[in-house]
């Protein structure tokens, strides 16, 4: 078997090759990966580390924070703030952006993250993950507004899934690579390159308990899938819903499928449940880099101009032909 590459080797090749990965961005990715290793250790300890359960606080979206949400957030901030590669960070778990303290050198990048996605799965030992996105700081004093850039401006995105294996999935705009944490060596080792999502699929992921709240185009699409071979699609579909976006998207990265968290009538004034900046944009960048597609039902997610840091969005992503079909149903009204 040929020798596998470490994450460091992969990144140095990206620096020397077509991607021309800037050294500061390479350093940033290495530090995020190191933080993910730290989070993986806490996640693995679970009850033994007294890290399960709620922290007795709420985040800006009014969601109860778990102890691990807060631990993961702190690990990412502490790992990243002193290295000199960042101007600021924004997190799903913080009301406002976190500027790099002035006694540290200021860098040119902005880091956004959902420190621990799939919070409802933490206490029940089901896969969860960290999602992150990197933007360039366009200059001036860093503020919440500095982060309000469309997803097309991302220079890097990734996630780390804490499951049976800890796997880091990464794009710097030149395809998608996967790295598995080798616990004995303590390093991420490349286990997939040039990941490609099949254009067609027979598997969908959506929280079916919300069916009665959906809009007509989503109902139509799912209804047609459920009719199976006898219906207009002429094939049987399978359903999966892990309730960790990281784990659901990872399955799609591995074998295809469509993931949807659409707008629904429970919260009519909100565009959706998932967050544009910390969840939808980084996942869209990865999905598109792997040949898939990602829309909010009507528009490419990465082209949405964000109006606020914690903006929400309706999400339809995964295998290209299925995403195009759902989007077409929305456009037909
Ligand atoms: P979180 O960031 O607070 O964990 O919420 C996001 C998660 C996604 O990972 C997942 O797809 C979704 O919420 C599950 O929602 P639901 O419990 O409504 O099915
Ligand atoms: Mg999340």
pLDDT per position as a tens digit, 17-38: 888 999 999 999 999 999 999 9
- pLDDT tens readout for residues 205-238: 999 999 999 999 999 999 999 999 999 999 999 9
Mean pLDDT, rounded, of the chain: 95
- 243 Cβ closer than 6 Å to some ligand 1 atom: yes
Whether ipTM exceeds 0.95? yes
245 CB less than 6 Å from ligand 1? Answer: yes
Picking from 9-18, 236-245, 277-286, 313-322, which range would have the lowest pLDDT averaged per residue?
9-18
Position 322 scores a pLDDT of 98
- Atom 12 of ligand 1: nearest residue by CA position: 243
Q: Is the CB of 59 under 6 A from ligand 1?
A: no
- Tell me: is residue 117 an annotated ligand-binding position: yes
The answer, yes or no, to whether any atom of ligand 1 lies below 6 A from the CB of 244, is yes
Query: What mean pLDDT is predicted for residues 289-310?
Result: 98
Q: Whose CA is nearest to atom 7 of ligand 1?
A: 118
User: Do 203-332 and 7-192 have the same topology in CATH?
Assistant: no
- DSSP H/E element including 22: none
Q: What pLDDT score does 54 carry? A: 85
Task: Determine if residue 92 is labeled as part of a ligand binding site.
Answer: yes
Whether the CB of 72 sits within 6 Å of ligand 1:
no
What atom in ligand 1 is closest to the CA of residue 92?
A: 2
Nearest CA to 93 out of 123, 68, 126, 110 is that of 68
CATH architecture, domain 203-332: 3-Layer(aba) Sandwich (3.40)
Nearest listed ligand to the Cα of residue 130: 2
Distance between CA 109 and CA 231 in Å, rounded? 50
**Cβ–Cβ < 8 Å for 117, 249:** no
- Cα of 40 vs centre of ligand 1, distance in Å, is 19
Tokens of 277: 């900046």
The topology under which CATH files domain 7-192 is: Fructose-1,6-Bisphosphatase; Chain A, domain 1 (3.30.540)
> What would the pLDDT profile of 40-84 be if each residue is shown by its tens digit?
999 999 888 788 888 878 877 777 788 898 999 999 999 999 999
119 in ligand 1 pocket by Cβ < 6 Å? Answer: yes
**For the chain, percent of residues with pLDDT exceeding 90:** 87
What is the Å distance from ligand 1's center to 245 Cα?
6
Protein residue whose Cα sits closest to atom 2 of ligand 1: 117
Ligand 1 mutation target, pool 244, 247, 275, 283, most atoms within 8 A of CB: 244
Nearest 5°: the CA angle 187, 47, 188 is 10
What are the domain boundaries of the chain? 7-192, 203-332
Tell how strand 293-295 and strand 315-318 pair up.
antiparallel
pLDDT digits (tens, 9 = 90+) for 105-127: 999 999 999 999 998 998 899 99
Q: Give the DSSP per-residue string, 101-163.
A: PTTSPP-SEEEEEEEEE-GGGGGGT--EEEEEEEEE--SSS--GGGG---GGG-SEEEEEEES
Residue 215 annotated as binding site: no
Say if residues 158 and 181 touch (Cβ distance below 8 Å).
Answer: no
Contacts of 167 (CB under 8 A, 6+ apart): 160, 161, 178, 179, 180, 181, 191, 250
pLDDT of residue 153: 98
Q: Rounded distance, CA 165 to CA 214, Å? A: 34
Q: Is 118 annotated as a binding residue?
A: yes
Query: Which residues are CB-contacts of 321 (< 8 A; sequence separation ≥ 6)?
Result: 199, 200
Measure the CA–CA gap between 177 and 204, rounded to whole angstroms: 23
pLDDT mean over 284-289: 98
> What atom in ligand 1 is closest to the CA of residue 63?
3
Give the pair of three-digit tokens for residue 186: 């303590």
- Answer yes or no: are the C-beta atoms of 169 and 159 closer than 8 Å: yes
Question: Is the pLDDT higher at 1 or at 248?
Answer: 248
Quick check: 1 pLDDT over 70? no
pTM of the model: 0.96
- pLDDT at 333 exceeding the cut of 80: no
Percent of the chain with pLDDT over 70: 99
Distance 44 CA to ligand 1 centre (A): 20
pLDDT at residue 2 tops 80 = no
From the CA of 192, how far away is ligand 2's center (Å)?
Answer: 25
Q: What is the pLDDT of residue 52?
A: 85
């Amino acid at each position: 078997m040929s020798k596998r590459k470490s994450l460091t080797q992969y990144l140095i090749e990206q620096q020397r090759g077509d991607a021309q990965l800037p050294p500061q961005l390479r350093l940033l990715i290495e530090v995020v990966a190191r933080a993910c290793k730290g989070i993986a250790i806490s996640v693995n300890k679970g009850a033994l580390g007294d890290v399960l359960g709620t922290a007795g606080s709420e985040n800006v979206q009014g969601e109860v924070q778990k102890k691990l949400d807060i631990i993961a957030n702190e690990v990412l901030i502490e790992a990243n703030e002193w290295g000199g590669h960042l101007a600021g960070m924004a997190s799903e778990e913080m009301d406002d952006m976190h500027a790099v303290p002035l006694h540290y050198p200021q860098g040119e990048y902005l880091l956004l993250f959902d420190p621990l996605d799939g919070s409802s799965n933490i206490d029940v030992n089901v896969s969860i993950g960290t999602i992150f996105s990197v933007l360039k700081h366009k200059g001036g004093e860093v503020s919440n507004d500095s982060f309000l850039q469309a997803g097309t401006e991302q220079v890097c995105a990734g996630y780390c899934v804490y499951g049976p294996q800890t796997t880091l999935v990464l794009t710097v705009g030149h395809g998608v690579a996967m790295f598995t944490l080798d616990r004995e060596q303590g390093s991420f080792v490349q286990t997939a390159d040039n990941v490609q999502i099949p254009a067609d699929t027979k598997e969908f992921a959506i929280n079916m308990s919300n069916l009665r709240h959906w809009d007509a185009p989503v109902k139509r699409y799912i209804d047609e899938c459920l009719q199976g071979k006898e219906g207009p699609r002429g094939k049987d579909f399978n359903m999966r819903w892990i309730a960790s976006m990281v784990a659901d998207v990872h399955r799609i990265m591995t074998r295809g499928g469509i993931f949807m968290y659409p707008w629904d009538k429970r919260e009519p004034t909100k565009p959706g449940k998932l967050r544009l900046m910390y969840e939808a944009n980084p996942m869209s960048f990865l999905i598109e880099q792997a040949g898939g597609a990602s829309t909010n039902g009507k528009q490419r997610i990465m082209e949405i101009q964000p109006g606020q840091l914690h903006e929400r969005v309706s999400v339809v992503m995964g295998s290209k032909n299925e995403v195009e079909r759902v989007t077409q149903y929305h456009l037909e009204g």
